[in-house]
Amino acid sequence: DAGVIQSPRHEVTEMGQEVTLRCKPISGHDYLFWYRQTMMRGLELLIYFNNNVPIDDSGMPEDRFSAKMPNASFSTLKIQPSEPRDSAVYFCASSFLAGEAYFGPGTRLTVL
Protein backbone atom coordinates (compact mmCIF):
# COMPACT_ATOMS: atom_id res chain seq x y z
CA ASP A 1 0.00 0.00 0.00
CA ALA A 2 1.34 3.44 -0.93
CA GLY A 3 -0.10 4.94 2.21
CA VAL A 4 -2.26 8.01 2.28
CA ILE A 5 -1.90 9.96 -0.94
CA GLN A 6 -2.43 13.68 -1.20
CA SER A 7 -2.39 15.98 -4.19
CA PRO A 8 -1.12 18.42 -5.05
CA ARG A 9 1.97 18.50 -2.86
CA HIS A 10 2.35 22.21 -3.34
CA GLU A 11 -0.18 24.80 -4.39
CA VAL A 12 0.41 28.47 -4.97
CA THR A 13 -2.60 30.55 -5.80
CA GLU A 14 -3.86 34.08 -5.65
CA MET A 15 -6.31 35.44 -3.17
CA GLY A 16 -9.88 34.86 -4.26
CA GLN A 17 -9.18 31.72 -6.24
CA GLU A 18 -10.74 28.36 -5.50
CA VAL A 19 -8.43 25.68 -4.14
CA THR A 20 -9.16 21.97 -4.07
CA LEU A 21 -7.03 19.54 -2.09
CA ARG A 22 -7.36 15.82 -2.65
CA CYS A 23 -6.82 12.78 -0.51
CA LYS A 24 -6.84 9.05 -1.07
CA PRO A 25 -6.94 7.17 2.24
CA ILE A 26 -5.51 3.74 2.91
CA SER A 27 -7.80 1.04 1.63
CA GLY A 28 -9.94 -0.44 4.39
CA HIS A 29 -9.66 2.50 6.72
CA ASP A 30 -12.97 3.83 7.93
CA TYR A 31 -11.89 7.17 9.34
CA LEU A 32 -10.55 10.13 7.40
CA PHE A 33 -9.28 13.33 9.00
CA TRP A 34 -8.31 16.69 7.57
CA TYR A 35 -5.83 18.72 9.60
CA ARG A 36 -4.20 22.10 9.10
CA GLN A 37 -0.70 22.77 10.38
CA THR A 38 0.64 26.25 11.10
CA MET A 39 3.43 27.53 13.28
CA MET A 40 1.01 29.51 15.42
CA ARG A 41 -1.70 26.93 15.95
CA GLY A 42 0.05 23.63 15.47
CA LEU A 43 -2.10 20.79 14.15
CA GLU A 44 -5.79 21.67 14.02
CA LEU A 45 -8.50 19.15 13.23
CA LEU A 46 -10.73 20.66 10.56
CA ILE A 47 -13.18 17.85 9.88
CA TYR A 48 -13.37 14.10 10.02
CA PHE A 49 -15.41 11.39 8.36
CA ASN A 50 -16.46 7.96 9.52
CA ASN A 51 -17.55 5.59 6.75
CA ASN A 52 -17.73 8.54 4.35
CA VAL A 53 -20.08 10.49 6.59
CA PRO A 54 -18.92 13.83 8.04
CA ILE A 55 -19.03 13.52 11.81
CA ASP A 56 -17.61 16.77 13.13
CA ASP A 57 -16.82 19.85 11.08
CA SER A 58 -16.60 22.24 14.02
CA GLY A 59 -12.94 22.83 13.23
CA MET A 60 -13.66 24.23 9.78
CA PRO A 61 -12.72 27.87 10.15
CA GLU A 62 -15.34 29.44 7.92
CA ASP A 63 -17.99 28.76 5.33
CA ARG A 64 -15.29 29.24 2.73
CA PHE A 65 -14.09 25.76 3.68
CA SER A 66 -15.95 22.64 2.63
CA ALA A 67 -15.08 18.96 2.51
CA LYS A 68 -16.60 15.94 0.84
CA MET A 69 -16.06 12.24 0.81
CA PRO A 70 -18.07 10.81 -2.08
CA ASN A 71 -16.69 7.30 -1.58
CA ALA A 72 -14.35 5.34 0.66
CA SER A 73 -11.31 6.05 -1.48
CA PHE A 74 -11.49 9.76 -2.07
CA SER A 75 -11.97 13.03 -0.22
CA THR A 76 -11.61 16.69 -1.11
CA LEU A 77 -11.11 19.83 0.90
CA LYS A 78 -12.14 22.98 -0.92
CA ILE A 79 -11.47 26.60 -0.09
CA GLN A 80 -13.50 29.17 -1.98
CA PRO A 81 -12.51 31.95 -2.07
CA SER A 82 -9.02 31.51 -0.70
CA GLU A 83 -7.29 34.13 1.47
CA PRO A 84 -3.63 34.65 2.45
CA ARG A 85 -4.36 33.52 6.02
CA ASP A 86 -5.31 30.11 4.65
CA SER A 87 -1.65 29.50 3.83
CA ALA A 88 -0.62 26.38 5.72
CA VAL A 89 0.17 22.71 5.31
CA TYR A 90 -2.96 20.62 5.02
CA PHE A 91 -2.74 17.01 6.08
CA CYS A 92 -5.08 14.17 5.40
CA ALA A 93 -4.95 11.13 7.66
CA SER A 94 -6.83 7.86 7.76
CA SER A 95 -7.26 5.15 10.31
CA PHE A 96 -9.09 1.99 11.12
CA LEU A 97 -10.93 3.19 14.17
CA ALA A 98 -9.32 6.41 15.42
CA GLY A 99 -6.44 4.79 17.22
CA GLU A 100 -3.42 5.09 14.98
CA ALA A 101 -3.66 7.65 12.23
CA TYR A 102 -1.62 7.33 9.07
CA PHE A 103 -0.79 10.70 7.60
CA GLY A 104 -0.31 11.78 4.04
CA PRO A 105 2.67 13.90 3.02
CA GLY A 106 0.62 17.07 3.20
CA THR A 107 -0.21 19.84 0.75
CA ARG A 108 1.66 23.09 1.26
CA LEU A 109 -0.73 25.86 0.30
CA THR A 110 0.41 29.40 -0.34
CA VAL A 111 -2.17 32.06 -1.05
CA LEU A 112 -0.70 35.29 -2.36
Provide φ and ψ at 26, rounded to 5°. Answer: -70, 135
**Beta carbon nearer to other proteins, 40 or 71:** 40
- Centroid of chain to Cα 32: 9
Scan residues 14-73 and list those touching other proteins (CB under 8 A): 31, 33, 35, 41-45, 48, 50, 55-56
Q: How far apart are CA 70 and CA 38, in angstroms?
A: 28
Identify which of residues 74 and 103 has a Cβ nearer to other proteins in the complex.
103
Do residues 75 and 67 lie in contact, with contact meaning Cβ atoms separated by under 8 Å? Answer: yes
Shortest distance in whole angstroms from residue 17 CB to other proteins: 26
Contact 15, 83 (CB under 8 A): yes
Sites of contact with other proteins (CB under 8 A) = 3, 31, 33, 35, 41-45, 48, 50, 55-56, 91, 93, 95, 97-101, 103-106
